[in-house]
Amino acid sequence: MKMKKLTAYLLILALALGCAGALGEEYAPKLAAPAGAPAVAVATLAAANPEGFTFLEASTIGAEFQKNESDFIIAPVNAGAKLFKAGKSTYRLAAVVTWGNLFLASQREDFSLETLKGTELVLFGENTVNAAVTLAALKAAGAEPASVRYLAGAAETQAELLTNPEAVVVTADPAVTAAKIKNEKVQTISVQELLKEHAGMDGFAQAGLFVRKETAEEHPEAVEACLKAVAESAGKAETDPEAVAQAAVALEILPNPKVALAALPGCSIRYVAAADAKAEIEKTASFDLSQFGGEVPGDDFYFTAQQ
């Protein structure tokens, strides 16, 4: 088994064990999450309890919802909303844990919003929330590109960034921080900062923590303990970034302490209970309603402890 997969496995079961331990119950909820920025939100909790493993490939998120086995799933907010709307999932959103990690990046000396107007932008993920948010942010800033070319994923745009000194791409943290450390010519513009400055949004609702209906009904105290544990772990990205960086490196979520500490701000980790995030989720959905099932999520999509 590859070490990266093993550590992702450890991360997820460790969170479950940590939740159970916080309550002192025998019931240990299972949590599924892809590695990367969302996993950093629970890194300190996971590093403290590396006693087992499970794993969720990013490409199997939809299947994981439909299997209805994991007690919690960390996944893109829009993916969970779309499946819920279609009746293919009973998981409800408990919290938003990441608020966007997207960056415009280039090696060009004249790289700026002004020069972007006359050039090609290389985006990843055609017909995705990330693409819709980026283009909406640029439109709000009055800096729409001359044309857009799509590649399959952030790894491909990252490769374009490093191999083509004239390219202007959209990529994501933590990878873009590693690229800047590797090549000092790389410059970035935060999509989240553009949203904040030109659209009045503090990032966008990117990844969320979803809770299984049956778990919430049958083990409400365990669910409450887990939510508190995840909130505490996510909060350390701001209050104790060194601890989060060390944990992320130990789990091989991030490559080394220098990259980990530098990348944390760009991962936009912030735990916000679903009910409190509703307005921002609706703003995010408005960029491309098709990514949320054709309309903003209804009230029944949001989990609260009273349910």
Q: What is the CATH number of the domain that holds 125?
A: 3.40.190.10
Q: Are 84 and 25 members of one domain?
A: yes
Q: Are 118 and 259 members of one domain?
A: no
| Mean pLDDT value of segment 240-265 | 90
Q: Are 7 and 58 members of one domain?
A: yes
| Mean pLDDT value of segment 120-133 | 94
Read off the pLDDT band of 67 (50, 70, 90): very high
Please, what is the average pLDDT of the chain? Answer: 87
| Mean pLDDT value of segment 226-255 | 91
Going 133 to 135 to 140 to 141, the CA torsion angle's sign is: positive
Report residue 181: phi and psi, to 5°.
-70, -35
Between residues 41 and 282, which one has the greater pLDDT? 282
- Beta strands (DSSP E) in 115-262 are 120-124, 147-151, 168-172, 187-190, 207-211
Distant-in-sequence, close-in-space partners of 200: CB < 8 Å, separation ≥ 6: none
Q: Cβ(135)–Cβ(240) under 8 Å?
A: no
Q: By three-state DSSP, how is residue 148 classified?
A: strand
| Mean pLDDT value of segment 156-185 | 94
Q: Are 176 and 213 members of one domain?
A: no
This model's pTM is above 0.75? yes
Q: Are 111 and 163 members of one domain?
A: yes
Q: By three-state DSSP, how is residue 178 classified?
A: helix
Q: Are 91 and 27 members of one domain?
A: yes
Q: Are 71 and 43 members of one domain?
A: yes
Q: Are 195 and 275 members of one domain?
A: no
Q: How many domains does the chain have?
A: 2
Q: Is 152 exposed, middle or buried (0-12, 13-18, 19+ CB in 10 A)?
A: exposed
List the one residue out of 79, 82, 75 whose CA is nearest residue 96.
Answer: 75
Q: CA–CA distance from 70 to each of 13, 23, 33, 89, 236 (Å)? A: 11, 19, 10, 12, 25
Percent over 90 (pLDDT), the chain: 69
Q: What is the pLDDT of residue 161?
A: 96
Read off the pLDDT band of 19 (50, 70, 90): low
Q: What is the pLDDT of residue 13?
A: 46
Q: Which of 159, 174, 199 is the last residue of a domain?
A: 199
Q: Which of 199, 228, 255 is the last residue of a domain?
A: 199
The yes-or-no verdict on residue 51 having pLDDT over 80 is no
Beta sheet of 168-172, edge-to-edge order: 147-151, 120-124, 168-172, 102-106, 187-190
Q: CA–CA distance from 181 to each of 42, 105, 176, 184 (Å)? A: 25, 13, 9, 6
Q: Give pLDDT tens digits for 171-211.
A: 999 989 999 999 999 999 999 999 999 999 999 999 999 99
Gap between the Cα atoms of 174 and 253, Å rounded: 10
Q: Are 217 and 184 members of one domain?
A: no
Gap between the Cα atoms of 91 and 93, Å rounded: 7
Determine, yes or no, domain membership for 229. yes
Read off the pLDDT band of 216 (50, 70, 90): very high
Q: Are 168 and 213 members of one domain?
A: no
Q: What is the pLDDT of residue 31?
A: 81
The yes-or-no verdict on residue 95 having pLDDT over 60 is yes
The yes-or-no verdict on residue 78 having pLDDT over 50 is yes
Beta strand 72-76 pairing with 31-32:
parallel
Read off the pLDDT band of 250 (50, 70, 90): confident
Domain of 142?
Answer: 102-199
| Mean pLDDT value of segment 218-226 | 92
Q: Are 187 and 118 members of one domain?
A: yes
Determine, yes or no, domain membership for 155. yes
Read off the pLDDT band of 24 (50, 70, 90): very low
The yes-or-no verdict on residue 240 having pLDDT over 80 is yes
Q: Which of 168, 199, 230 is the last residue of a domain?
A: 199
The yes-or-no verdict on residue 292 having pLDDT over 90 is yes
